[in-house]
């Protein structure tokens, strides 16, 4: 089954090569599929061998633990990477880059999604995380999502109310997202470009973009900001080996070089414990943690 995969199959692949944090042990089996059939082959191999299977996109929201991932990791970034525009709609493969979609839409004077600019993501990862900002979430634009179910069959889902929530998409369990339709709207190109520029400038001013990170570590608790709470408990700038609670934005943990997943997790424990003790609020991770 692995032999039938036309894309790439690698063994003991370091996942630090595939995460924005540049951290993570190896995946036993790492698949970069070429098409949906390759994903099906990976699914049936994992099923037959009784192995767990993880899907990743660009790895921008992932903390992979230091001993890596047992089983199969399928990386969709670059696979299913097409974006087509039909009228005011974009039809995008799960491996397409969100920023490329925003750029290509802008060139066609199609806007709306510029509130998502600067979020490093594949479409699949953005959907799974309901990526966005308080100005808009990807779920706001989605009219249909396409899946590959664990048994290899295809599915289409028209999201209704509640399908997308804060940092969550309630999709069928075990389903792999393979694409989506997004509704855009016509807007003068100069306005879109101006908006994009302003948003990128704002991100650069407030986030530690020059250093490796996985974006915000914690979900914001209701009516507060996780970054504010972590700062209030005195942990902004706290370092542990190569890991640092960013001195620019306390909801980011950056890898200044040589940080391990254990360092990041220790800083997270410290922040969670202090925020709990001081404010009685339990911080919940926004980043997805995988591996052992
Ligand atoms: C500098 C920086 C800034 C960021 N700013 C923001 C921001 O402003 N707003 C925001 O929302 N996020 C932000 N993030 C976080 C991150 O960009 C988003 O969560 C993004 O959606 C992750 O996409 P990805 O393709 O990298 O997904 P990954 O990190 O690879 O995966 C994330 C999750 O999605 C699942 N997944 C991925 N693809 C699929 C698929 N095809 N089918 C099923 N499940 C899948 C994975 O299993 C995993 O659980 C930032 C990150 C960084 C590094």
State residue 148's pLDDT score: 96
Is the model's pLDDT at 288 over the cut of 90? Answer: yes
Residues 226, 231, 236, 241, CA torsion sign: negative
Residue from 216, 244, 272, 274 carrying the catalytic annotation: 216
Q: What residues are paired with 157 via a beta bridge?
A: 145
* DSSP symbol at 104: H
Is the model's pLDDT at 161 over the cut of 90? Answer: no
The answer to whether the CB of 237 falls within 8 A of the CB of 247 is yes
Q: Average per-residue pLDDT in the chain?
A: 96
Short-list 10, 24, 38, CA closest to 69: 24
- Backbone phi and psi for residue 144, each to the nearest 5 degrees, phi listed first: -155, 150
> Taking the C-alpha atoms of 283, 284, 287 and 289 in order, what is their torsion angle to the nearest 10 degrees?
120
Banded pLDDT at 159 (limits 50, 70, 90): confident
Say whether 171 is catalytic: no
Going from the Cα of 278 to the center of ligand 1, the distance in angstroms, rounded, reads 30
> Which tens digits make up the pLDDT trace of 171-217?
888 899 999 999 999 999 999 999 999 999 999 999 999 999 999 99
Domains, the chain, ordered by start: 2-75 (3.30.43.10), 83-206 (3.30.465.10), 226-290 (3.90.78.10)
Say whether 216 is catalytic: yes
Residue to mutate (ligand 1; options 114, 119, 205, 248; most atoms within 8 A of CB): 119
Residue from 40, 167, 181, 274 carrying the catalytic annotation: 167
- Tell me what percent of the residues of the chain surpass a pLDDT of 90: 95
State residue 232's pLDDT score: 98
Mean pLDDT along residues 221-237: 97
In this structure, the residues whose C-beta lies within 6 A of any atom of ligand 1 are 20, 54-62, 76, 94, 119-122, 124-126, 128-129, 131-133, 176-177, 207, 209, 213-215, 288
State residue 262's pLDDT score: 98
Of 20-24, 40-44, 65-69, 168-172, the least confident: 168-172
Residue to mutate (ligand 1; options 98, 99, 131; most atoms within 8 A of CB): 131
In angstroms and rounded to an integer, the radius of gyration of the C-alpha atoms of the chain is 19
Residue nearest atom 2 in ligand 1 by C-alpha distance: 215
Q: What's the gap between Cα 48 and its chain centre?
A: 28
Residues 80, 85, 91, 95, CA torsion sign: positive
Is the model's pLDDT at 49 over the cut of 90? Answer: yes
State residue 172's pLDDT score: 81
Residue 251 to residue 240: CA distance in whole angstroms: 16
Going from the Cα of 53 to the center of ligand 1, the distance in angstroms, rounded, reads 17
> Which ligand 1 atom minimizes the distance to the CA of 137?
11
Q: Measured between alpha carbons, how far apart are the two ends of the chain, in Å?
A: 26
State residue 122's pLDDT score: 98
State residue 85's pLDDT score: 98
Q: If residue 176 lies in a helix (H) or strand (E), which one and from where to where?
A: strand 176-183
Is the model's pLDDT at 279 over the cut of 90? Answer: yes
State residue 199's pLDDT score: 97
State residue 162's pLDDT score: 85
Residue nearest atom 6 in ligand 1 by C-alpha distance: 119
Non-local CB neighbours of 211 within 8 Å, separated by 6+ positions? 246, 254, 255, 256
Going from the Cα of 95 to the center of ligand 1, the distance in angstroms, rounded, reads 12
Going from the Cα of 103 to the center of ligand 1, the distance in angstroms, rounded, reads 18
Is the model's pLDDT at 116 over the cut of 90? Answer: yes
Going from the Cα of 126 to the center of ligand 1, the distance in angstroms, rounded, reads 5
Mean pLDDT along residues 15-20: 98
Say whether 167 is catalytic: yes
The answer to whether the CB of 257 falls within 8 A of the CB of 31 is no
The answer to whether the CB of 15 falls within 8 A of the CB of 69 is yes
Mean pLDDT along residues 53-63: 98
Is the model's pLDDT at 101 over the cut of 80? Answer: yes
Extract the tokens encoding 165.
Answer: 């929530």
Is the model's pLDDT at 1 over the cut of 80? Answer: no
């Amino acid at each position: 089954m692995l032999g039938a995969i036309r894309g790439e199959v690698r063994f003991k692949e370091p996942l630090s090569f595939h995460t924005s944090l540049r951290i993570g042990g190896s995946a036993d089996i790492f698949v970069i599929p070429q098409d949906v059939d390759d994903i099906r082959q990976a699914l049936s191999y994992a099923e037959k061998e009784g192995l767990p299977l993880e899907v990743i996109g660009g790895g921008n929201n992932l903390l992979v633990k230091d001993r890596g991932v047992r089983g199969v990791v399928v990386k969709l970034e670059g696979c299913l990477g097409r974006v087509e525009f039909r009228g005011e709609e974009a039809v995008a493969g799960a491996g397409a880059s969100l920023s490329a979609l925003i750029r290509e839409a802008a060139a066609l004077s199609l806007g709306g999604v510029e509130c998502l600019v600067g979020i490093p993501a594949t479409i699949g990862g953005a959907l799974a995380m309901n990526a966005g900002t308080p100005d808009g979430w990807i779920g706001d634009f989605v009219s249909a999502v396409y899946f590959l179910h664990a048994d290899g069959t295809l599915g289409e889902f028209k999201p209704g109310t509640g399908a997308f929530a804060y940092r969550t998409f309630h999709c069928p369990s075990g389903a792999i997202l393979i694409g989506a339709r997004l509704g855009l709207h016509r807007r003068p190109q100069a306005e879109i470009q101006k908006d994009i520029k302003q948003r990128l400038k704002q991100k650069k001013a407030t986030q530690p973009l020059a250093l490796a990170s996985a974006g915000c570590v914690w979900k914001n608790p209701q009516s507060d900001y996780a970054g504010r709470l972590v700062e209030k408990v005195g942990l902004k700038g706290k370092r542990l080996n190569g890991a640092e609670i960013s001195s620019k934005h306390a909801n980011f943990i950056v890898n200044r070089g040589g940080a391990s997943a254990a360092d990041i997790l220790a800083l997270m424990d410290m922040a969670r414990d202090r925020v709990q003790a001081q404010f009685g609020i339990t911080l919940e991770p926004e980043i997805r943690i995988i591996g052992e």
